[in-house]
Structure formats: C-alpha cells, structure tokens
Amino acid sequence: MSSVSEGQHEQQRKTEQQGPHGQESRHTQEEGTDTVDAQEHLRRIRAELSRIIEPGDLLGGVVVDHMGCFEAHALICSGESPSARLVQSAAEAAEALGLSGRQRDLREALVRWRTRQDQAAGARDLATLRRLGGGILVPEDPQWPAGLKDLGPAEPLALWWRRDRSSHPVEALPELHRTVAVVGSREITDYGARVTAEISESLAERQVCLLSGGAYGVDAAVHRAALRTWEHRGEDTPVDSPLPTIAVLAGGLDRLYPAGNDTLLRGVAQAGLLLSELAPGSSPSKHRFLQRNRIIAALAAVTVVPEARWRSGAQNTAHHALSLGRPVGAVPGSVYSPLSAGCHRLLRHTPTEMVRDAADVAELIAGVTPAPEVGQARPGLAAAGTAVSSQQRLPLSPGEEAEAAASRPEDSLGEADRLLLDALPKRRLSAPGKLSEVAGLPMPQVLGGLSRLQRKGLARSVNGQWGKALSRASS
C-alpha cells in the first residue's frame, strides 16, 4: 500500500511538471529559459566590461569586485556621477589592496571608461566569437581557472576563448599542476630552438599542457613541439590528457597576431586553445603584451625561459610568476650570446632556478602547492599589483642604466602617455578623438599627452592628425 501510494504521488508530481503529451510544463520550461537568459546576460555584461576597461586598469577590477559586475556596468553606462559614499568606499577598497593616489579616484576612472562606452556591444562580440567556434569564460563559471584568482585586482574581467573543434574547451582547461609556461625572445638561435624543442616535447610526452604567447621565436617553437607530440600520439592519447597547448594572445581572437603565425595559431586552435582578455577586434599593443604576460604566469604552475634578451617580455612574465610565488626556471647559455643574457640576469638576480631539461622542470612542478580555493586568503596587490607594472627592473650597473636610458626614451613616460603612444598609428594619422577611444583616455589627457610625446620626439602632427614619429614608425 505504501509503495503504491508513493508511486501515485510520484506520478502526480510528474504530471504537474509535464504537459498532456509528456512534455515539460510551461512553468518548468520557463525556469530553464530564465536560467539560460540570466547566464547570457551575465556574459554580455562581462563582455562589455572587457572592452570598456583596459587590461591592467586595477581600479576597474576593484570596482567590479566591490560593486558586482552588473552594478559596475550600470554605473559606467548611466553617465551619472557616483555618490560621495560610493567614491569613498571604492577608494577604501582600492587602498586596502595597495592602490595609491589617482589610482583610487573613481570619478576620474569613470571619465576614462566612458570614452569606450559607445564601443560596448556584448551581444555582437559574443556572436563574432561563436561564429569562430569560441565564446567567453567568466569568473562566475565553475571552470574559471583557480590560478587567476591569485592576481587579486588584476584578475581578468573575462577570458575570450577560441577552439576550432566541437568539444567545449572550458571542460578541458588543464589544472594548474599540469600546465607549464615556456616563453622567450622573438628571435631564437639554433641552440635556443633545440633546447626549447627538447624540453617542450618531453613535457608534452608527460601530458603537460604547454602555455605560451603565440609570438615568433621561442613561443612558436613551443607550440610547434606540442603539436608535433600531439599529432604523433594520435589515437593513443589518454582520455584524461590535458590540452596539448594554449596560446594567450594580446589582441582579439578574430585577428590572429602575428600574421606570420596564422597557420600555427589555427593549428593551436584546432588541437588546443586560444585565449585572450581582449574583446574581438582589439589590436595588440606593447601595453597589452605586457599585461597579457600576467595571465600566462597565473595559468601555469611553472614558467620556463629557454632563451631571452637582457630586456624582453619573457623577463616580464618571469617576474609575474615570481610575484605570485610560482617557480621560474631559466636555461643557461653562452656568456657571449645576447639571447641568453636575460636568462643569466634572472639566474643572478632572482630566485630563478637553473633548468637543463624536462626532468628539472618536473622537479619544479612537484614543489608547487595547490592554488587556494575561492574565498581563501590569496595574494593581493602586493603580489599581483607590482606584476602588472609596465616593466619590472632588475638591479643595473651604472653603464647598464645609461644604455637603457639612451635606447628606450619611452621608459620615462607615465602610464597614460605610454597608453597614448601605443595607440598612435605607425604609418597613418589619427584624430585625437579616435585616439581617446583607442587608448581609453579622456580628451584633455590625450591632448596634453600628445604635446608631451611630440616634445620628446615620439609623435608627429599633420593638420591636427597624429601618428608616431617617422623615425619610431620605421624602426
């Protein structure tokens, strides 16, 4: 009697949920639709924030974390002035994370962000990536990489992904302990190519995902080695193997850069994954390359530098990793080779370990502690904020200081002027209004910055239009 009664109640419950033809009731369908709509709305909001707020704008991360992405987005798009209470609470939250001075000014930040408000079209950007087999991953997703949480306020607002295969990539993102970043100079010697290939192929055979930046030189050698191993393994690949390789790019994933690596990057998208925090259509710039490096460091258990110049983006990535408490390994080379000078500099001035092969790298991986769970204490700006500075410098001799100052005049620029210099076209000319949108800076700041860049010989003006100085553009 009891079992019959339970069965009748169960049948009644199913009948209430189903229509006359055994279909789900309108109420149940509407609940599912509401959930899907809410997720889509969240992705659209995050997509628009990723276009409005420039990577490395730490106050943006603080405000989104403090207010929530929906309220932060609404405030930016409202055009209204924030209340004094909100300005104060945002400043206090920013100060607690180590931001100082104008970095804490919400009113100034809103002026900056609103220069790009007209460009925000989340639905369009999501449709663009979906046509390419991609989409967007947001911090609210359970698949969001735990290692990115270590970046604190520099954590990306979202990650755009592209994978030219049917399987959904967020189900296959490798765990931290199965990912190694291998980065280096865009130029590469025969020695560097050989050691990069040997280390990369051996790590790939150990089912380690190889992470890099998709550039020429060392990056390309890493991706090619991973793809060779993946192709050689073929159907023998274990089911639980991670993606063979991931390229983290500094521009929109609808414009593969550099163009000379187009075929290679399409191969990475086929076998592995392309990632970027920049919305579709975004162009790479020096600033964005440096900001991209923090993501590479945060996604990997270990960062390895096979070959790098004395000053290079690879050293920037290594410093991001060190600031996050992640091991860094560098391969020593000839003392006469400028392409090993960066490796020797890391080995001499930082806790970087010398590595010779994949076995040495495996030892570094074994020493990595698991990433903290969401909600646990993690490094804030003290660890991550310094890593998002434009360039971290190692101790220099007086001669090296003089050499650096003479060869890189832009090193003396402030952050806003560096963004503006990156936004200036090399061969064409652009109006100040367009530069304001590209750089994400208010017009008064753009006009003042253009004058400063012109005085330093870094910018030129023709009939009110601006571009990089000809000597810089041709270099």
pLDDT tops 80 at residue 388: no
Whole-model pTM?
Answer: 0.76
The pLDDT of residue 96 is: 81
The angle at the Cα of 215, spanning 211 to 216, to the nearest 5 degrees, equals: 120
d(CA 5, CA 270): 55
The angle at the Cα of 157, spanning 145 to 48, to the nearest 5 degrees, equals: 135
379 pLDDT band, cuts 50/70/90, is: very low
Query: Which domains, and CATH codes, for the chain?
Result: 26-120 (no CATH), 126-388 (3.40.50.450), 412-473 (1.10.10.10)
Whose tokens are 């600033």? That residue is 287
Q: What is the percentage of the chain residues whose pLDDT exceeds 90?
A: 55
**Number of helices (H) and strands (E), helices first, in the chain?**
20, 11
pLDDT tops 60 at residue 371: no
Q: Which residues contact 465 (CB under 8 A, 6 or more apart)?
A: 429, 430, 431
pLDDT tops 60 at residue 386: no
Least confident of 16-20, 37-41, 458-462: 16-20
The pLDDT of residue 144 is: 94
Choose between 408 and 434: higher pLDDT. Answer: 434
435 pLDDT band, cuts 50/70/90, is: confident
- HSE value, Cβ hemisphere, 13 Å, CA-based, for 101: 1
Asked if 272 and 225 touch (Cβ cutoff 8 Å), the reply is no
442: how many CB neighbours lie within 10 A of its CB?
17
d(CA 327, CA 368): 8
pLDDT tops 60 at residue 168: no
The angle at the Cα of 308, spanning 306 to 314, to the nearest 5 degrees, equals: 90
Least confident of 7-21, 231-245, 341-355: 7-21
d(CA 216, CA 197): 14
Choose between 155 and 419: higher pLDDT. Answer: 155
Choose between 334 and 372: higher pLDDT. Answer: 334
The pLDDT of residue 389 is: 37
Single-letter code of the amino acid located at 260: G
Q: Which residues contact 320 (CB under 8 A, 6 or more apart)?
A: 293, 294, 296, 297, 298, 303, 387, 388
DSSP SS3 for 273: strand
Q: What is the pLDDT of residues 278-309, one digit of tens each?
A: 999 999 998 999 999 999 999 999 999 999 99
DSSP state string for 113-128: HHTTGGG--HHHHHHH
Single-letter code of the amino acid located at 172: A
d(CA 435, CA 424): 7
Choose between 95 and 329: higher pLDDT. Answer: 329
Asked if 189 and 219 touch (Cβ cutoff 8 Å), the reply is no
The pLDDT of residue 171 is: 63
d(CA 247, CA 185): 15
Task: Print burial letters for 358-374: b (CB count within 10 Å at least 16), e (below 16).
Answer: beebbebbeeeeebeee
Token pair recorded at residue 14: 């199913």
Q: What is the pLDDT of residues 202-248, one digit of tens each?
A: 999 999 999 999 999 999 999 999 999 999 887 667 767 789 999 99
d(CA 197, CA 147): 26
Report in angstroms the alpha-carbon separations of 92 from 86, 103, 111, 180, 207. 10, 11, 20, 36, 45
The pLDDT of residue 426 is: 83
Q: Torsion angle, CA of 142/143/145/151, rounded to 10 degrees?
A: -40
